[in-house]
Amino acid sequence: MIGEPVYHKIKSAIEKKTVRETAEIAEVSPNTVQKFAKMSLEEAHTFFSNSKRISQFDIALEEIEELLSAHPQMKAPKVLRKIQSKYPGISCKERALRNYIKPIREKYKNSKIRYYHPVIENKEKCQVQVDPGEFTIKQDEFGNKFKVYFVVFIFSYSRMMFVSYQERPYKTEDFIKAHLEAFQYFGGIAKEFVYDQTKLVVIQEKYREVWFNKRFHQFSTKHEFLPVVCEGYDPESKGKVERAVQYVKNDFLYGDYFSNIESVRKCGIEWLNEVSNIRIHSTTGRKPLEMFNEEKPFLRTDYHFKNDENFRNVDKVGLISYKGNKYSVPHEFQRKSVVVVKNSEKLEIYDAENKQKIASHNICISKNAVITNTNHYRNIRKNIEELTQETIDSMKNINFDTDLIFKLKKDNPKIVRDQLYGVQKLLTKFTPSIWNEILPDLLELPILRCSIIEKNLLVKKRKNEVESCLKKTSKNTTSKTEKSTLCRSLKEYDKKVKNAE
């Protein structure tokens, strides 16, 4: 904005220079030069005193000064969020606020300055940088405080971030638990994790030869990710997470009150989801969450199946235990093992063998509750007619007679349901060609059971495999073998005896 200094510069220059030359000196337009050249000093003073621009932030000036006086290091994005929550009509962006609070900030400037080395290059996808931090949090305006310790995980490419918090310094088991929380938040495991030379990861490093913490090395091996250790006193090698630690302190923890560690954790997840991971990052120019979608296909997602704590045994009525409550699974998983995963407020349950999700429940906060899904028991409640028709429909790919199913039901009146389910299972285990070969013989049996059908299928399958193997062997044999002595006739032995006499 043009002010009185520009006016005086124009007045002094216009006496010796042309209008165009004066405009170049004062860095204004020729029209502005002509306008101010005609003004007297009193007119100029009146003009400039009445021309102050009104800012949208003027309405929140008192709140801004209060915030910066109490928290002089609070960053502009957080200041903007706080005043916009009180004054929704403010539509200006961060840069406008940054310019507005610059003179206000000077009043409360802290002399302690920390310098950072910029890291410009992007690492390859699926690399995560990890670094711990600590911060003293205010509980209330009366000066009560408590200390929180945290670990930041940030993807080098997308800047997608997760933070784990606790009230005591991290030990190896705590550090491992923080990793498991990060795996769950990201939905998978990256290929490479970068650390500084903390004792949580490294016992000793000499000549760039690293002796890992045994417990942590077992963990990284089990979950198949590569731990990379930075050289000592080299913050640039993990500069993204160094800056992220300060971002967590300044934008989230600083300038707010938290009653306890649970409050920090709950607000921390909200801050990640609603601020950190959806903002336009100043370096990439994109939202971390959008860029993370490009990295997600490279993550390994089977980490739940490598953690013994996630396995559950299903009881005979199709229920599993989780934190004092019972949850149902589909009936076909009764007496089997499954894997449980907590995802936000949901409990997701996976098949331990093929790793497919089989159920999902809202997590119950009470104790001794039984949470069921009626669909998990739907197949058991099918009547026999429905199950019979379903079995017949599943046998359309083979040349069977419906009399086979009715004979099976007639011969097993007390266990019809199990016999029909057994047939459906065998249809998936054996090919239609093997079924077609044994079907004519099944109806001739005096008693038909699913176990007998399975035995016939296995015998036919093995017989076909043997015949196929013999055919291949006969094709590969080029010379005739001598006839076995066991196959010689008695006449040949009589001749041998007579010649000997």
At 453, the pLDDT band (50, 70, 90 cuts) reads: very high
CB 97 within 8 A of CB 60: no
Residue 223 pLDDT greater than 90, yes or no = no
pTM of the complete model: 0.50
Residues 366, 379: Cα–Cα separation, whole Å = 29
What tens digit of pLDDT does each residue of 1-16 get?
456 677 778 888 888 8
Residues 30, 32: Cα–Cα separation, whole Å = 5
Residues 363, 346: Cα–Cα separation, whole Å = 5
pLDDT the model gives residue 65? 82
User: Helices 4-14 & 19-26, crossing angle to 10 degrees?
Assistant: 150
Residue 149 pLDDT greater than 90, yes or no = yes
At 300, the pLDDT band (50, 70, 90 cuts) reads: confident
Looking at mean pLDDT, say which of 26-30, 105-109, 172-176 comes out highest: 172-176
The CA-based angle 433-438-443, given to 5 degrees, is 135
Domains of the chain: which residue ranges? Answer: 4-49, 56-107, 127-298, 311-377, 384-476
pLDDT the model gives residue 119? 43
pLDDT the model gives residue 167? 94
Tell me the average pLDDT of the chain. Answer: 82
Residue 114 pLDDT greater than 60, yes or no = no
Distance of CA 330 to the CA centre of its chain: 26
pLDDT the model gives residue 146? 93
What tens digit of pLDDT does each residue of 387-439 get?
888 888 888 888 877 888 888 988 998 888 889 889 989 998 898 889 888 88
At 184, the pLDDT band (50, 70, 90 cuts) reads: confident
CA of 314: how far to CAs of 106, 317, 330, 347, in Å?
64, 8, 10, 15
> Which has the higher per-residue pLDDT, 290 or 231?
290
CB 29 within 8 A of CB 36: no
Q: Which CATH class is domain 127-298?
A: alpha beta
Residue 480 pLDDT greater than 60, yes or no = no
CB 323 within 8 A of CB 335: no
pLDDT the model gives residue 2? 58
At 490, the pLDDT band (50, 70, 90 cuts) reads: low
Q: Which of 79-88, 159-168, 278-287 has the lowest mean pLDDT?
A: 79-88
What tens digit of pLDDT does each residue of 324-364 get?
899 999 888 888 888 888 877 788 898 877 778 889 999 98
What tens digit of pLDDT does each residue of 37-75 get?
888 877 777 776 655 566 778 788 878 887 887 788 888
CB 27 within 8 A of CB 17: no
pLDDT the model gives residue 275? 93
Q: Give the count of alpha carbons within 13 A of 343, CB side only.
A: 15
The one-letter code for the residue type at 403 is D
- In order, the DSSP letters of 143-198 are --EEEEEEEEEEETTT--EEEEEESS---HHHHHHHHHHHHHHHTSB-SEEEE-S-
Nearest Cα residue to 452 out of 467, 466, 441, 436 = 441
Q: Structure tokens of 293?
A: 């979608």
Give the strand pairing for 370-371 and 325-328: parallel
Residue 483 pLDDT greater than 60, yes or no = no
CA of 81: how far to CAs of 85, 88, 366, in Å?
6, 10, 36
Residues 418, 423: Cα–Cα separation, whole Å = 9
pLDDT the model gives residue 3? 63
CB 325 within 8 A of CB 370: yes
CB 359 within 8 A of CB 371: no
pLDDT the model gives residue 316? 85
